Amino acid sequence: MALIKRNWTPDQADEWTKEDWITVVLSPLCYILLMIGTALSFLINLWGFLLLALGIILTYLMHWIIDPKLKVISNEYEKKQHEYLENLERKVRWEEIHG
Amino acid sequence: MIQFQFLDWFWVVLFLVVTVGLGVAFYRLGKRSESDFFLAGRGLPWWLPASSVYATHTATDTPIWVSGVVYKYGIAGLWYTFFAAWCAVSAFVSTRIFRRSLAYTQAEWNTQRFSGLGAEMLRGWISGWQVFMNMFILGWVGIAMGKVCNYLFGWDVWVGLVVFSSLCAIYVLAAGFWGVIMADFQQGIIAFLMILIVSIWGIIAAGGPSGIVNKLNAMGESWRINPFAFTGWFEGNFPVAWFITMMIIAIIGGFGMGTSIDWYVEAQRIQSAKSVRDSSYSIWWGTALVLTRNSIWAAAILGFYVLFPNITSQSQYEMGWFRLGFEFLPVGLVGFFFAAVIAIHISTVASHLNLGAMYFTRDLYLHYFRPKASEKELVWVGRIATLVLLLGSFFYGLMMEDITSWLIFALWLMAAGIWLPNILQVVWWRFNAWGYLSSWIANLGLSWLVVWILPHFEILPQLPDYQQFWLLMILGALIFIPITLLTKPDDMEHLVKYYVQARPIGWWGPVKREAEKLGLLVHVKLENQGGK
């Protein structure tokens, strides 16, 4: 079993898994590194450049982890979207049938 | 006051013509349907909503309050701006969930998440609140523009408030969200380019990066370069406890919807994206640009600080970044800078005009007054609502004074007492409409009491912001949790339908089991996975 799953079935992709949680942890860390790194880089601070570079690397890693899952989710959901939109319009116009 | 030359006015007029013209050019697309007027037909690639996220949250008030906190706290002041980082988590959690609901607005989403009378009351409440709030924000950013024009040209504040917002309304009225998104893309590029130019110019004027650092050292102010320059664990104006609170608000808040006032704007961009994946990346990258912008501003404001280290008036040092541009840029470029200022102003105005109009049109007019309305009628109602929002914002704007104080209060008003409910509505099946509704109502009263009334009568001391947050959250929880548990759960059939469509994260076990029992979901066994 791979540490990071990259091949998903639609049903698997709909579940919340460790790839989501890894992304949730990496993402704010990327923001912190990019934010502080950029500010310090503009002051020609060595730590700034290092933090910025690390932020870019982690951003790429995050994308690498979560993107396959997002693609599958999107592709599968688009097949059902038309029906969901029709239901939404019926509901907003009080045309939804009950029972 | 600033003296403009012909070339300066040329840039300003050229920008106005191009940006209004570009927005109006999408008139035919905008008038096609309600979906086009408010969501650009739900077909946008990720980078268009992303640029709109960035442009919308780059307003004339933004450099004012960012300048304020960085001038006061140094680089560490960036943590004040880090509330935007809720998008780091939201992009991959609540954004996915919301996008799958397909709801036009947060108010509409509430009727998908909750059921019965409570859901309808929430829809009415949220949509009415958002119409008001968008008008409020329009006034808020408008008065910031009024201040800028007053500083530049000596114009009365109302002139800057009225003129540019009115010009912006031209293309919003014509093309709706198509106009907003396309103008935002252009305005975002201009704004980012000019932020870079002015900030670099300001840094150079202050002696360059090394000059700034050396001067800060000579002044005994080198702590301003330290992003972790706190005043103690609990003491002073910038304690670690505040920082931890901000991290929690920002990061944990990403699991919710509405934990930031910016969510309501982002929700529109989420639904305008052509896929779930595009919506995630639009939110993530739009906010990444926002945080990067703040960092660039921070470096420039440190330069402003070494140039003008003794400013004690908040209203003066809040204008720091604008002063760098208008006092140090050469002739000709000053006008381009002002054009960029107009860009950041009207991109925000455009977004909030269309958003407020959407809440009125979709959630109030269509749902409650005219369920049989045609697409053409809805587009026209959207236009009328846009115009009313514009006029209302002029009155609100003239009522406001200090930008930073109002902003912080708005954050607490929106975030503190309903921060936790905004998360619970996403993650906990049992949290119901009555609990959520009660949290909103309670927060309105509690926030005024805790922030103003009780301190005024010395019943409470004037608490630091972060303590206000925790107090309001706890007080609110004492109200909405009992109400949730003492009232009936939402209808299970309704919850199952929502769960199957949106697949929310968190504590949804009973609903998931019911969905599987009904054959609506396939039980998926994930080996060594953390799925719940």
Distance (Å, whole) CA B332 – CA B282: 34
Q: Which of A5, A8, A22, A31 to mutate to test the interface with B (most CBs of B within 10 A)?
A: A31
Distance in Å, alpha carbon of B365 to nearest chain A alpha carbon: 11
Instruction: Say whether pLDDT at B44 is over 50.
Output: yes
Residue B83 gets which letter from DSSP?
A: G
Q: Which residue of A has its CA nearest to B95?
A: A70
Q: Which residue of A has its CA nearest to B526?
A: A12
Distance in Å, alpha carbon of B298 to nearest chain A alpha carbon: 6
Three-state SS for B201?
Answer: helix
Three-state SS for B42?
Answer: helix
Q: Please report which confidence band the pLDDT of residue B237 belongs to, taking 50, 70 and 90 as the band edges.
A: confident
Identify all chain B residues contacting A40, using CB atoms and an 8 Å cutoff.
Answer: 75, 225, 227
CA-angle at B67, arms to B208 and B327, nearest 5°: 55
Q: Which of B42, B44, B75, B105 to mutate to test the interface with A (most CBs of A within 10 A)?
A: B75
Distance in Å, alpha carbon of A80 to nearest chain B alpha carbon: 9
Mean pLDDT of B134-141: 88
Distance (Å, whole) CA B389 – CA B229: 42
Q: Give the largest CA-CA distance in chain A.
A: 67
Distance (Å, whole) CA B408 – CA B422: 19
Q: Is B180 left (phi over 0), alpha (psi -120 to 50) or beta?
A: alpha
- Pick the more confident residue, B465 or B427: B427
Q: Which of B82, B99, B270, B277 to mutate to test the interface with A (most CBs of A within 10 A)?
A: B277
With an 8 Å Cβ cutoff, are A15 and B277 in contact? Answer: no
Per-residue pLDDT, A98: 54
Facing A39 at nearest CB: one of B100, B295, B530: B295
ipTM value greater than 0.85? yes
Q: Please report which confidence band the pLDDT of residue B475 belongs to, taking 50, 70 and 90 as the band edges.
A: very high
Instruction: Say whether pLDDT at B24 is over 90.
Output: no
Best CA proximity match to B449, nearest among B468, B464, B474 = B468
Mean pLDDT of B309-320: 90
**Which positions ≥6 away from B256 have C-beta within 8 Å?**
B86, B90, B94, B419, B422, B423, B424, B425, B426, B427
Per-residue pLDDT, B484: 97
Please give the share of chain B, as a percent, with pLDDT higher than 90: 67
Identify all chain B residues contacting A94, using CB atoms and an 8 Å cutoff.
Answer: 367, 371
Q: Please report which confidence band the pLDDT of residue B409 belongs to, taking 50, 70 and 90 as the band edges.
A: low
pLDDT in tens, chain A (99 residues): 578 999 999 999 999 999 999 999 999 999 999 999 999 999 999 999 999 999 999 999 999 999 999 999 999 999 988 888 888 888 888 887 553
Facing B526 at nearest CB: one of A17, A88, A95: A17
CB B378 within 8 A of CB B34: yes
Distance (Å, whole) CA A99 – CA B163: 54
- Pick the more confident residue, B212 or B5: B212
Distance (Å, whole) CA B64 – CA B317: 8
Residue B512 gets which letter from DSSP?
A: H
Distance in Å, alpha carbon of B504 to nearest chain A alpha carbon: 9
Facing A81 at nearest CB: one of B102, B296, B505: B102
Please state, in angstroms and as integers, the Cα–Cα distance from residue B157 to each residue in B9, B22, B161, B167, B397, following that order: 20, 28, 6, 17, 9
Distance in Å, alpha carbon of A1 to nearest chain B alpha carbon: 9
Best CA proximity match to A19, nearest among A31, A34, A3 = A3
Identify all chain B residues contacting A35, using CB atoms and an 8 Å cutoff.
Answer: 78, 82, 291-292, 294-295
Distance (Å, whole) CA B344 – CA B447: 30
Distance (Å, whole) CA B377 – CA B316: 47
With an 8 Å Cβ cutoff, are B276 and A77 in contact? Answer: yes
Length of chain A counted residue by residue:
99
With an 8 Å Cβ cutoff, are B524 and A14 in contact? Answer: yes
